[in-house]
Structure 1
């Protein structure tokens, strides 16, 4: 049992060591053996709970109570199958967690005998929400429309040439996997918004971003040109492609701006993280996911080898950056051939 549960020694209040006592070791060495450990759960809880010092906890008879809002779409993750997640939260924190019924508001109430237990329960619930959010499909995104008439005309020419020249060899170079020309866009970042409260906060941040980031950047760089030329795919194997896109060339100015925008929105907590340091600049031309939007529930891959070879440097056109949208992903059938609906728009 001494081996399984060794004594812990804290040094300078933040370094923890396990002390394995052994007569044989002490008999042959003057130094006591140790294994350095990271923060244990108690210390981690204390550090993390410091971030929750400002939450409102009220007296509730002989106990305490904390009530806070949770988006309704997250309640199921907090409850868990057969209430297993909620019960474990209550057991781990020594609290009672009251979750509203469907017809009620979305306020959760945590009741406990100790404020620390309530704080811990709140922190764990926030962690569940944070990790569950991005299991959902994205709801909104920041986009730059690249659909002036020249680019749309060139895209339509590209589409018809690919269908006529490469259709037989690319398995699925059919019209339904091409983007609609009026929807051609650059995506800067994507979000999962759970309710109208989060939507309002994001719109406000979008407006602030215009004043604090976008306009100052354009004052330094002047008008920014966006030039579309060349194509590429999202994976390493050109014979099994799901997304084929147009590349942005001469992109230093636009890359710097969208990186700043994405960095700003990464702090909102509702943005899906970027996979790399820089925003991936691309304009989607073909995507097999569009078949799902046509009620064909199959995510296929196609051979894009011939397309990439024949149209490697295809010129789609260019435009001057003049607007940025906060766009809705979902849309009605009426808007299927129109650009994405914007809940906020910046005109430059």
Structure 2
């Protein structure tokens, strides 16, 4: 009889499992627990919960309590039910939200989290580490856990589409791999900021110093008074050329020009596409698109030939030079065949098809440019003051408006992570695909 009852219970567990596997969405990470029963003073069973991750393809749980087997199955697509004791049922779900979105679910001083818990009757457990992507929602019923999950999904959708969440990654065409171009950018910044003036002054001083082979002044010592008499008439009169007058620091500040708005030379690049990849799943999906899906198509768009560009001049992105926000170097494809733009369009279309591009970004036309100054990067020393949104680029344009920056090979495309850098100083590369041709040293 005992054997028959055991087989019957196991059969029911398998039946629960087969039903739940079909209905479990991949976007959820189901959590289960294994408990050990202890006797309490009131003669009923309690369970010490130890949480452990479970496969998303199975939401059936078996909790062991002493020698007894308790059955638990998923009651809806977004929750897991487990028997804790004779009268209490526990429902929980793990959602992959993304580390960068945790602050929006928490809200200022935890207000958003507390409001959600109060209105839905659940407990929201946020991770203690800033690098974790999952949250756990616990509740007494399937309905309340499902409702809380839907509310959090709505918050995520709203945040992702708003400027509150900055872009985390982008597709870049690195240019900083060319040392001669990096050197030109360094010289450009030093010239605008006036950092070269001290070295120029020292060279001018050395060039203007008189060359003498003897002592220009005759000294006569008086042994009685221990004084030195100097013949003033014998001191030569030396004249120096006036120092070149550069732009003072106060004038630069009035123009809104400071070092923080210059692009770091080691990060110089062309931007193909901006991305918001707020969790690990989206980052992995972007890697797969770039490395596995589109490489042959990109090669075809480039006709399997190396692609070279020319950087020449300096221009303002929008508005007048007197109130510039972005100053950039125009890009021209050598040969003017349109191969580079075709390859960039192949990349963009693949990421749009994969659902990794926001709708507003997918509709924008691509204008390849190499940014050298951006007012948005300005650092505020006083947080109480609004940072200046523009700078006066008229003098810079007069000097560098026709600058020839040179011709360069584009060897590859990167999935770059913003705000994180590798040892070379360039953005961290999450994935890359090569372009035809070899890099010229």
**TM-score normalized with structure 1 length:** 0.65
Is 1:328–2:424 an aligned residue pair? no
Given the alignment, which residue of 132, 138, 153 partners 1:126?
153
**1:98 and 1:159 mapped to 2: Cα distance?**
50
Alignment check: 8 A CA contact 1:167 1:174 kept:
no
- How much does 1:144 deviate? 0.9
Between Structure 1 and Structure 2, how many residues are aligned?
293
- How much does 1:216 deviate? 3.3
Alignment check: 8 A CA contact 1:177 1:286 kept:
yes
After TM superposition, the structure 1 = structure 2 runs for residues 148-159 of structure 1, keeping only pairs within 5 Å, are 148-156=178-186, 158-159=188-189
Alignment check: 8 A CA contact 2:96 2:279 kept:
no
- How much does 1:299 deviate? 3.8
Q: Which range moved further: 83-92 or 261-270?
A: 83-92
- Give the structure 2 partner of residue 302 of structure 1: 391
- How much does 1:345 deviate? 2.6
- Give the structure 2 partner of residue 214 of structure 1: 298
- Give the structure 2 partner of residue 281 of structure 1: 368
Q: Whose helix proportion is higher, 1 or 2?
A: 1
Given the alignment, which residue of 89, 93, 96 partners 2:122?
96
After TM superposition, the structure 1 = structure 2 runs for residues 332-343 of structure 1, keeping only pairs within 5 Å, are 335=423, 338-343=425-430
Is 1:190–2:274 an aligned residue pair? yes
Structure 1 residue ranges without an equivalent (≥5):
1-49
Is 1:345–2:432 an aligned residue pair? yes
Secondary structure at the aligned position of 2:321 is classed as coil
- How much does 1:113 deviate? 5.3
Is 1:261–2:347 an aligned residue pair? yes
In terms of Rg, which structure is larger? 2
- How much does 1:260 deviate? 3.0
**1:296 and 1:77 mapped to 2: Cα distance?**
25
Aligned-pair Cα RMSD in Å? 4.3
After TM superposition, the structure 1 = structure 2 runs for residues 1-348 of structure 1, keeping only pairs within 5 Å, are 55-59=77-81, 66-81=93-108, 84-86=111-113, 89=116, 96=122, 98-100=124-126, 102=128, 106-109=134-137, 111=139, 121-133=148-160, 135-147=164-176, 148-156=178-186, 158-159=188-189, 162-163=192-193, 167=247, 171-173=255-257, 177-211=261-295, 213-219=297-303, 222-250=305-333, 252-266=338-352, 271=357, 274=361, 277-292=364-379, 299-300=387-388, 301-331=390-420, 335=423, 338-348=425-435
Secondary structure at the aligned position of 1:130 is classed as helix
Alignment check: 8 A CA contact 1:232 1:247 kept:
yes
**2:158 and 2:181 mapped to 1: Cα distance?**
39
**TM-score normalized with structure 2 length:** 0.53
Secondary structure at the aligned position of 1:235 is classed as coil
Alignment check: 8 A CA contact 2:92 2:136 kept:
no
User: Relative contact order, CA 8 A, sep 6+: which one is greater?
Assistant: 1
Structure 2 residue ranges without an equivalent (≥5):
1-24, 28-75, 84-88, 195-244, 436-441
